[in-house]
């Protein structure tokens, strides 16, 4: 089942929790498509075009704890650890956490309260070795903006230290990555820690913008610079010049870091929020996506 939000400017399709049922991405607010009605521009693509490959991501889907997984390091093999928006996962071996792996799972209790103007998800994590929490996520539309509001309440006896990001699987009108795209940052753009010589040669920096020198034929990844100015009111902007359409992400928090991943059919800027919450405390943050033509 798909839940659809529409205000005449944007139409947003959101998969029912459990449609995606693996252990990487948050099951709630799994946004599979965004349509800008002016021009009928679409923005979301799957992680992989080959059925069965990849971890099942699509569109705008978020993940907690890709590098700081709650309770994993202290769990023994065979014990459970919690992942917000997913449930309790079982550690199989005494090896580092692998975000691409599928772990045995006990899904969290999840509810959704929807209306024509928005949807609110509530995810209650079972207690697990001193960890427990309640995740509340609200998705709404405000003119040409898609807004995601989060609250994570620490109901356990241990502090929570993790991070959250959205893996933005974007391909504007299905156009492949390449010379037609431009990634804009609010400060001097930088390509840092590229995973390969291929990534270094693929991306070209000019001032506050990153361009593609060619259409990629394999995955690319790097850390990004250029989001750091404290007075910036947005994190990144991706435009496809032939379509004259784009998307811009902003938010209520100062990023911990930013990264860029992609391959031939997809471009994914990633903005990481640091999440540190003491017991009996909570943290609120929000993300806003503006979709536009020019």
Give 203-235 pLDDT, tens digit per residue. Answer: 999 999 999 999 999 999 999 999 999 999 999
Q: What's residue 52's pLDDT?
A: 85
**pLDDT for position 91:** 98
Model confidence pLDDT, tens digit, residues 120-170: 999 999 999 999 999 999 999 999 999 999 999 999 999 999 999 999 999
Instruction: Give CA–CA dist 137/135, Å, rounded.
Output: 7
> What integer pLDDT is reported at residue 156 of this predicted model?
98
Q: Which residues of the chain have pLDDT under 70?
A: 116
User: For the domain 2-293, what is the CATH code?
Assistant: 2.70.98.10
CA distances for 288 relative to 164, 190, 235, 251, angstroms:
15, 23, 10, 6
pLDDT the model gives residue 257: 98
**Do the beta carbons of residue 17 and residue 112 sit within 8 Å?**
yes
* pLDDT given for residue 1 in this prediction: 76
pLDDT reported for residue 55? 93
Instruction: Give the Cα separation of 72 and 82 in Å (integer).
Output: 8
Strand order, beta sheet including 209-212: 109-115, 118-124, 133-142, 145-154, 282-293, 245-251, 236-240, 181-184, 209-212, 203-206
Question: What local confidence, expressed as pLDDT, does residue 51 receive?
Answer: 86
Quickly count: other Cβ atoms within 10 Å of residue 145's Cβ: 17
Total-model pTM: 0.96
């Amino acid at each position: 089942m798909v839940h659809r939000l529409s205000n005449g400017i944007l139409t947003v399709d959101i998969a029912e929790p459990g449609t995606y049922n693996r252990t990487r991405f948050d099951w709630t607010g799994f946004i599979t498509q965004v349509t800008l009605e002016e021009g009928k521009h679409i923005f979301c693509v799957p992680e992989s075009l080959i059925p069965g490959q990849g971890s099942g991501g699509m569109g705008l889907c978020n993940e907690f704890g890709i590098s700081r997984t709650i309770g994993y390091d202290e769990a023994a093999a065979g014990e459970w650890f919690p992942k917000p928006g997913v449930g309790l996962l079982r550690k199989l071996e005494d090896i580092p956490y692998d975000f691409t792996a599928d772990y045995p799972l006990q899904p969290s209790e999840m509810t959704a309260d929807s209306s024509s103007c928005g949807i609110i998800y509530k995810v209650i994590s079972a207690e697990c070795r001193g960890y427990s929490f309640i995740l509340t996520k609200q998705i709404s539309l405000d003119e040409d903006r898609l807004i995601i509001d989060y609250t994570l309440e620490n109901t356990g006896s241990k502090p929570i230290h993790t991070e959250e990001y959205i893996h933005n699987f974007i391909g504007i009108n299905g156009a492949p990555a390449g010379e037609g795209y431009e990634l804009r940052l609010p400060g001097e753009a930088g390509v840092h820690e590229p995973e390969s010589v291929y990534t270094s040669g693929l991306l070209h920096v000019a001032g506050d913008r990153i361009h593609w020198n060619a259409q990629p034929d394999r995955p690319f990844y790097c850390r990004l610079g250029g989001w750091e100015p404290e007075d910036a009111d947005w994190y990144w902007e991706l435009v496809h010049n032939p379509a004259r359409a784009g998307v811009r992400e902003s938010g209520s928090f100062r990023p911990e870091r930013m990264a860029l991943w992609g391959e031939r059919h997809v471009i994914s800027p990633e903005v990481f929020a640091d999440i540190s919450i003491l017991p009996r405390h909570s943290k609120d943050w929000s993300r806003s996506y503006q979709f536009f033509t020019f």
